[in-house]
Chain A
Amino acid sequence: MSTLFDKIWDAHRVARNDAGDELVYIDRHLVHEVSSPQAFTALAEAGRGIRSNARHIAVQDHNVPTTADRLSYIASPESAAQIEALRGNARRTGMRLLDLDDARQGIVHVVAPEQGWVLPGSTVACGDSHTATLGALGALACGVGTSEVEHLMSTQSLWMRKPLTLGIEIAGTLGPGVYAKDLALAVIHRIGTGGGVGHAIEYYGPAVRALSIEARLTLCNMTIEAGSRFGLVAPDATTIAYLRERVKGAAREHFDAAVAAWAHLHTDDPADYRRRVAMDAAAVVPTATWGTTPADSAALTGRVGDGTPAGDATEQERIAAALAYMGLETGQAMSSVPIDIAFIGSCTNSRIEDLRAAAGIVRGQRIAAGVRGLVVPGSTQVKHEAEAEGLAQVFVDAGFEWRESGCSMCIGMNGDSVGAGQRCASTSNRNFENRQGQGGRTHLLSPAAVAASALRGRLTDPREVMA
C-alpha cells in the first residue's frame, strides 16, 4: 500500500547513498532565462555537456516585455542581455528554445501543460519554485536552484531526500464565485506558510475531482507558498481528456499504452499519508490577502485579520510590520480597501479559463476611474485563443490594457511593476514586501475577484458584481 507520490518516486529512484539521499531520475527539465545562465557557464567551465538533450526545453518568460514591439525593442538592457544569454546558450548546446517569436512562447508553467509536455507518472524539474504547478497532471514536479539546474543538465537526475506525504482532502463543492485560487488561499491559511515544509502535498476528495485541469494547476501552483516543493493530484478521466488533445510525438503514438500504465497512479488508502488534513469546499469563500505572506488572508466580505490567531510576540510583531507595510489596520473592512492597479496574469491565473472568468465579470462595464487594469495572458496561445473568443475585446472595452504573454507584474522583472505605495489587486502568487516592485502593496485574489475589484476601485467580492 502506498501513496501516489511514493509510486512515482520509487519508479524514478536510480540509487541511494549511505546518508539516505536518493538519486531521482528527472524525465523533463524546463529552463528559463533567469535561473539558468550561471548553470550553463559552470557546465562550460567544467567541460561538461548535457546528458540527454531531448529531455530539456527552454522558454523565455520572466524578463520578456509584454509590449507589442518586444521583438524589435527591449527597454531594459539587463533584460535584453539575459534573454540573449539564453539564446546563446541554447545555440551553443543545441537545447530547444521557445524564443519570443515562437507561437508557443509564454510562462513556462503555462506552456508546459498546454503543449502536453507534462505526463502523469513523470518527474519534472525547473529552476523556479512554482514548478509545483505541474503536479496537477499527476507528475512529481518541483522547483530547484541553479546548482541543481547544472546537476540536472549534466546528469539528468537530482539527489533528494524523500519528503513525507501530506494528504489534503477537500470535500463538498465550491460555491458560485469561488475558485481554485480561493481554495489555495484557504489551504495556506489553514496549514500556514511552513505547514508543508518537508512534505509533498496530494490534494484529493470530491472537490478536487470536480476541478478542471486549469483549476488544479492553480491549486498546485500555490503549494510552495505552504512550504511544500511538491503538490499533486492523481490523474483521472479529466486528466486523460486534457492530454489526449495536446500530446505529440512519442506520447501521442503510445497514448493508449500510457493511459493503461497510468491506471495505478493513485493513493491506495488515505491512511498511507503521513499526515492528513480535511477541508470543506463549501466553507471556502471569495478571499484576498491583506498582509505580506499568502497566509495573511480573509473573506472579501470580512475584515483585515479575521481568523488569524494572535500568535506569540514574534508573530504579533510580524503582523504589525505587515500591516504597516500594507497601510492597513486590523478590523478594517476588506471591501473598504481602494486599489490602484488590477493585474490579471502569472503562472497561477493566466490560463484561458481564468480570462473567461474575469471577462464574465467585466463584460459591458468600465473599470473604475483611476484604476490601471492589466491583462497578461500566460502564453501566446492563450492570447490568440482569448482574441478569437472575443475576450480581449471585452477587456479592452472595459478599459484594461491587453498585453503579450509573460511573467509580467508577478515579479516585475520585465518593466511591468507596481510603484511605491501603489496598491495592486493581483492574481499572482506572492504578496511579499517589494515583490511586484519596491514599496508596492499586493493583494492576492482570484481573476473574478480582481475583475470585480477593478470595476469598483476597491477590493470586491465577485458575487457582489455577479448578483
Chain B
Amino acid sequence: MKRSVTTVAGHAALINRDDIDTDALFPAPYLRLTQRSGMGRYLFADWRADARPEVAFMQAAEPPRFLVGAVNFGCGSSREQAVWALADYGVQAVLAMSFGDIFRNNCVKNDVVAATLSPDDHATLVKALAANPGAELRLDIASRTLQLPGDLDLPVVLAEGHAEQLLSAEDHIARTLHYTDALQAYEDRVKSEQPWLARID
C-alpha cells in the first residue's frame, strides 16, 4: 500500500565511491527469485561475502536510514531488486552527487528518497559523518532540506515530480488512470494516422 513520505530521520552509512552499480547492490544470481519482499538479505551479498570494508556498516544491528554514495550511484542494470533490497533492509533515503536514471525512478516507486547534493555540500556531509559517524540526519521532503547536527542545513535536489509522488498516498497506476481518456485519444489517433504503430506483428 502506498504511504505518504514526508521525512526521513536517522543515522547514515557512507560508501564514498563512484559508480556503485546495481549488480553490486543486488547480485544477479538472486534475480531468479520471483517475489518482491524479503530482498534485504541479498543487499550487497557479494561485497559482504568478501568482507569488503564499504559494507562493514551492515554488521551493526540497526540499519542506517540513509545511505550516502558519491557520483553515479545505482548505475547499470535496471533491476528494481536493488531498491527492494535497500528498502527491505531499512534504508529510506540515498544521498549522492548523481544517480543512474533508472535506479532513481525505481527508488521513488518504492518510497525510497533519492536526493542529490552539490559536490561542495556532499563534501560537507562526508566531513560531518567522518567527525561523527553516528550523527542523526533529518531530511524534509517538502522543503528539500537535509538537517545535520549543529543546526547545519544542506539543500538537496529531488528529480522533478518525485517529491509529489513521495508525498502522495495514491499509487502510481491509480494516478495515471485519471488520464484514461487521453490515452484512448492517442490510441484512436494512431489507429487512423499511423496504423503501423498500433500493434506488434
CB atoms of A197 and B197 under 8 A apart: no
Q: Is A157 part of the contact surface with B, judged by Cβ < 8 Å?
A: yes
A127 / chain B contacts, CB cutoff of 8 Å: 78
In the complex, whether B146 has a CB less than 8 A from a CB of chain A is no
Which A residues lie within 8 Å of B31 (CB)? Answer: 34, 62, 413
Cα A251 to Cα B172 with chains together (Å): 33
Residues of B within 8 A of A148 (CB): 105-106, 109
User: Is A23 within 8 A of B182, CB to CB?
Assistant: yes
Enumerate chain B residues within 8 angstroms of A197, measured Cβ to Cβ: 72, 98-101
Whether a CB of chain A sits under 8 angstroms from the CB of B150 is no
The CB with the most chain B CB atoms within 10 A, among A14, A54, A318, is that of: A14
For the complex, is A105 an interface residue (Cβ under 8 Å from B)?
Answer: no
Point out the residue from A48, A413, A434 that lies within 8 Å of B46, measured CB to CB.
A434
Binds B, one of A77-85, A268-276, A357-365, A379-387: A77-85
A161–B159 CB distance below 8 A: yes
* Interface hit among A139-147, A207-215, A396-404: A139-147
In-complex Cβ contact of B34 among A17, A21, A38, A247 (8 A)? A38
Count class of interface residues, chain A: 35 or more
Write out the residue numbers on chain A whose beta carbons fall within 8 Å of the beta carbon of B198. Answer: 54-55, 250
Let me know if B55 is at the binding interface, CB within 8 A: no
A253 to B201, CA, bound (A): 11
Q: Quick check: A81 and B46 within 8 Å, CB to CB?
A: no
- Tell me which residues across on chain B come within 8 A of A19, comparing CB atoms: 160-161, 163-164
Inter-subunit contact A198/B101 (CB<8 Å): yes
Q: A15-B179, A227-B75 in contact; A250/B46 too (CB < 8 A)?
A: no
Q: Is A395 an interface residue (CB 8 A)?
A: no
Q: Which of B88-140 contact A (CB under 8 A)?
A: 98-102, 105-106, 109-110
Q: Which of B144-201 contact A (CB under 8 A)?
A: 159-161, 163-164, 172-173, 176-177, 179, 182-183, 185-187, 190, 194-201
User: Contact at B186–A250, with CB atoms within 8 Å?
Assistant: no
In the bound complex, CA of A23 to CA of B184 (Å): 13
Whether A159 contacts B176 by the Cβ 8 Å rule is: yes
Q: Is A92 an interface residue (CB 8 A)?
A: no
A194 and B71: CB pair below 8 A?
yes
Contact: B34 with A27, CB < 8 Å?
A: no
Contacting residues, chain B, for A48 (C-beta < 8 A):
173
Chain A-chain B contacts (Cβ-Cβ < 8 Å), number = 217
Q: Name A150's closest neighbour in chain B (CB-CB).
A: B173
In the complex, A343→B164 CA distance in Å? 46
Q: Is B17 an interface residue (CB 8 A)?
A: yes
Pair B179/A144 contact, Cβ less than 8 Å: no
> Contacting A314 at CB < 8 Å: which of B33, B70, B164?
B70
Measured CA separation A268–B59 after assembly (Å): 56
Chain A residues with Cβ below 8 Å from B160 are 19-21, 161
Residues of the A chain whose Cβ atoms lie less than 8 Å from the Cβ of B200: 28, 54-57, 96, 117
Q: Mark A83-104, 1 if CB is under 8 A from B, else 0.
A: 0010000000000100000000
B77 interface residue, CB < 8 Å from A?
yes
Chain A residue with Cβ nearest B191: A250
A315 near B102: Cβ-Cβ < 8 Å: no
Query: B17's closest neighbor in chain A, by CB?
Result: A318
Contacts of A78 in B (CB 8 A): 32-33
- Hey, which chain B residues are within 8 Å of A438, CB to CB? 27, 46, 49
* Complex Cα spacing A76 to B31, Å: 13
B32 and A79 form a contact (CB under 8 A):
yes
Q: Residue on A with the closest CB to B172?
A: A151
The answer to the question of A261 belonging to the interface, with a C-beta cut-off of 8 Å to chain B, is yes
Tell me, in angstroms, the Cα distance from A164 to B62 when the chains sit together: 40
Q: How far is the CB of A226 from chain B (nearest CB, A)?
A: 10
Chain A residues with CB under 8 Å of B76's CB are 129, 224-225, 430, 432
Query: A-contacting residues of B (Cβ < 8 Å)?
Result: 16-19, 21, 23-24, 27-29, 31-36, 46, 49, 70-72, 75-80, 83, 98-102, 105-106, 109-110, 159-161, 163-164, 172-173, 176-177, 179, 182-183, 185-187, 190, 194-201
Given known contacts A197-B100, A249-B199, what 6 new A-B pairs fall within 8 Å (CB)? A34-B31, A151-B176, A194-B98, A250-B195, A317-B17, A438-B49
A-B CB contact pairs (8 Å), 28 listed = A19-B164, A25-B183, A35-B79, A37-B34, A41-B36, A52-B187, A54-B198, A63-B32, A78-B33, A119-B196, A121-B194, A129-B77, A145-B105, A151-B176, A155-B179, A161-B161, A197-B99, A225-B76, A227-B72, A227-B101, A228-B101, A229-B101, A254-B196, A258-B194, A318-B19, A413-B28, A432-B24, A434-B28
**Interface residues, chain A, with chain B CB atoms under 8 Å away:** 12, 14-15, 17-21, 23, 25, 27-28, 34-35, 37-38, 41-42, 46, 48, 51-52, 54-57, 62-63, 76, 78-79, 81-82, 85, 96, 117, 119, 121-122, 127-129, 143-148, 150-151, 154-157, 159, 161, 163, 193-194, 197-198, 224-225, 227-229, 247-255, 257-258, 261, 293, 314-315, 317-318, 321, 411-413, 430, 432-435, 438
